A and B are shown apart, each in its own frame.
Chain A
Amino acid sequence: MSRKEKVLMSGNHALAEAAIRAGCRFYFGYPITPQNEVAEYMAEHMPKAGGVFIQAESEIASISMVLGAAVTGARAMTSSSSPGISLKQEGISFLAGQELPAVIVNMVRGGPGLGNIAGCQADYFQATRGGGHGDYRTIVLAPSSVQELVDLMVLAFDLADKYRNPVVILGDGLIGQMREPVILPEPVTNLPEKEWALRGAKGRKSRFSRSLILDVRAMEEHNWKLQRKYQEIERNEVRYEEFMIEDAQLVVVAFGSSARIAKGAIKRVRKEGLKVGLFRPITLWPFPFSRLKELAEQIKEFLVFELNAGQMVEDVRLALGDKAEVFFYGRPGGVIPTPLEVAKTITNRYYQRIKGRRG
C-alpha cells in the first residue's frame, strides 16, 4: 500500500488497522454488536504483526488483560459497546488509579440496559465523568468520520503514553459500521521504553504498581497528583472543529455522528440564507469550555443536537452560563434523524429566535 493511497474500510476495521500501525500489539476483547469487526480484524491481523489477540471470557477479564499488558509497558487496547463498557469500568478505574496507559474503544449503542444495536450517544456521561468509581478522568475522543477515527486512534495511543492515562474513543454504531475511503497512517516504529514499566527487576530495585493507598493523607496526595495531571491535560489537549461559524447567529453544538448529520443540515439551511454554524467538540473530555465561552461573546443562540436525551448539553450550559440561550434537540434510543429533519429543527429555532420568515 503506497503512502497516500486511499482504501475503503469500515470504521471498525480501520480503527483496528490504525491501532496496529500505532504500535498496539495487544488486543483483548469480547464479542458485542456493533463492534465485532474490531476483534475479527485483530484476530486475523494482530498475529501477523507479531502481536497478541485474545478473545477473553468477559469484558471484565479483557480490560484486566489490558492492564497486565500495559503494566509491562506495551501498547494495549480493548473495544466494546455500551453494556460491555459498563463491565470494563472496574478495570478503567484501576488503570486510572495506577496511571497506566490504555486505549478503550466504545462503539455506543442504544440503552439503557441491553438497549439495541443502533448508533447512539447515550454514553457521554459515563465516558466524560470517568465512568467507574473514584475521582478520575479519561481522555475522550469523538470521531465523526472513519478518517478521523483512524487519526484519533494514533493520537489516543500517544496521549495515553504521554499522560499515563486511559483514553476512550467514543464512537457509535454508525461510525463503526460505515465504510469510507481512508488514508492509513505510516506504521510506528521504535517506541521509547517506559521507565516505570514492570519487566522484572533486572539491574534495578523491584517496583510495584498499585491503586491501594491505605494512608488517607497519601491517598489524598495521590488524588491531587491525578487532578494536577488532569489540569495539564485540560490546558494542552482541548480539540474542536468550527464550521461556518464566522458570521453565524446560531451555532449548533454536536459531536461524533450527530455533528456529521448537523453539518449536512447546516449546508441546507445556509442555502436558505440562515446564518448557522457548527461547533464540534473532538475532545469530550477535556471539553472545550473556554472556546464556547468566547463564542458566546458574539453568538447568543446555541442549539445542542445529540443522539441521546440530553447529556453534552449540560456541559454546553456550564460553558455558556447566562451569556447565551441553549436549545436542545435530542433523539435517544438509536433513532438517527436525517439532515432534513435536523434542518427543520434548526430552521424553526432560527425563526423563533433570530429572524422572522419575511424579515
Chain B
Amino acid sequence: MKKVYSRPKYLKEKKFHYCPGCGHSIVHKLLMELVEELGIADRTIGVAPAGCAVLAYDYMDVDMVESAHGRGPAVATGIKRSLPEAVVFSYQGDGDLAAIGTAESIHSATRGEKILIIFINNGIYGMTGGQMAPTTIEGMKATTAPLGRSPEREGHPLDLTYLLSEIPGTVYAERVTVNSPKAIRRAKKALEIALRCQLDNEPGLAIIEVLSMCPTNWKMNPLEACKWIDEVMSKKFPLGVLCDRRKKIKKRAVAGNVD
C-alpha cells in the first residue's frame, strides 16, 4: 500500500507540550515538511524564541539556537551574515516580535536581511498566562486587560506585518491562518514561498504571520477558537499577501493562489 502521510522526517519523535488546539504544532509540522521537501535540512538554522515555542529545538531536527525575548531577528542576522548559504528562520510570537522585539523586527527589514520571520499571532501572551499582547484586539480580555482592551485605556493593537510590508527591505509578507485544512494548505504554500526567497537569494526579509489559536488563554474550546479567527480576528488582521517584491520567480507560484 502506498504511504500517503507520516510524521515529517525532520520532526523529532517527541510529544508536543502545546495545549490542545494550539496552532504552534501545526506550524512546526508544516515547516519541517518543507525542510524535507526542499531538501534544506543540512543548511537550515532556526532561532527559537522566548515564549510558548521556546522548546522548538526539542521538535525541529535542524540546527537551532535560542534567542533572548525579542532578539530573534538580530540573532538570525548574525547567523545569516556569517553563513550566507544557510536558510535562516526566526520563529516568534506576538509579544516577542511586536512588543519587546519591535526594533529588531523593523530593522531586520530596513537592512533587508535575507531571513524568514515566522510570526505566530494569537493576540495574547501564552506562556506567561494570558497577558495583553501588542496584537490583542479591541474588546478582547486578557489578565492584564481584565475589562477587555480599550484603545483609550490600553492603546491600540499593532499590525506589525503590515508595517513591515511597507518597508522596501521586506521582500515577501503574507498573513495566513491554520484554523482549517484549506487554511493550513495555504499556510504551507506561503511558508514555501518565504523559504524559497532565501534559496533564490531574494534581496530581503520574508515574513509569514500566522493567526494562531490559543484556546487555553482565549478561554474557548478548540473549535470555538478556530471559528473566532474567521469571525473576529481575521477581520482585524486580514489574511493575504501584504507585499511581494520578489525579483526572480515572481508570478511563478503565487499568482491567483491567494484565498
A interface vs B, CB < 8 Å?
26, 28, 52, 54, 56-58, 60-62, 64-74, 76, 90-91, 94, 98, 198-203, 206-212
Contact = CB atoms under 8 A, between A and B. Distances in A.
B151 interface: no
B75 A206 contact: no
B239 interface: no
Interface string B48-73: 10000011010011111111100100
Given A60-B71, A65-B78, A71 B107 contact: no
Interface of B: 41-45, 47-48, 54-55, 57, 60-68, 71, 74-83, 86, 103-104, 106-107, 111
A64 B66 contact: no
Nearest to B62: A206
Contacts of B107: 56-57, 61
B164 to A, nearest CB: 14
Given A198-B63, A209-B66, A210-B66, A64 B45 contact: no
Contact of A61 (B42, B57, B74, B81): B74
16 contacts: A56-B107, A57-B107, A58-B103, A60-B74, A61-B103, A64-B71, A64-B75, A65-B81, A67-B78, A68-B47, A69-B78, A72-B83, A91-B71, A94-B67, A208-B65, A208-B66
B74 A209 contact: no
Nearest to A60: B71
A317 to B, nearest CB: 35
Most chain B CB within a 10 A radius of its CB, from A28, A68, A210, A212? A68
Given A54-B111, A72-B83, A91-B68, A198 B42 contact: no
A210 B61 CA distance: 15
Given A199-B86, A202-B43, A64 B65 contact: no
A315 to B, nearest CB: 30
B83 A61 contact: no
B97 to A, nearest CB: 14
Given A61-B107, A201-B62, A67 B82 contact: no
A72 to B, nearest CB: 4
Contacts of B104: 57, 60-61, 64
B71 A210 contact: no
Contact of A65 (B63, B65, B77): B77
Contacts of A54: 77, 81, 111
Given A54-B81, A90-B68, A198-B79, A68 B74 contact: yes
A64 B64 contact: no
A296 B50 CA distance: 49
Given A68-B75, A208-B66, A199 B81 contact: no
A198 B79 CA distance: 9
Contacts of A91: 68, 71
A212 B57 CA distance: 11
Nearest to A69: B78
A71 B41 contact: no
Nearest to B47: A68
B64 A56 contact: no
Contact of A201 (B42, B71, B77, B81): B42
A103 to B, nearest CB: 14
Nearest to B71: A64
B78 A198 contact: no
B8 to A, nearest CB: 13
B74 A198 contact: no
A329 to B, nearest CB: 40
A69 B107 CA distance: 17
Contacts of A212: 54-55, 66
A19 B60 CA distance: 36
Contact of B67 (A56, A64, A199, A201): A64
Given A90-B68, A208-B64, A72 B75 contact: no
A3 B83 CA distance: 33
B63 A200 contact: yes
Given A67-B65, A212-B66, 20 more contacts: A52-B81, A60-B71, A65-B74, A67-B71, A68-B75, A68-B77, A68-B81, A69-B81, A70-B78, A72-B83, A73-B82, A94-B66, A199-B63, A200-B45, A201-B42, A206-B64, A208-B64, A208-B66, A211-B66, A212-B55
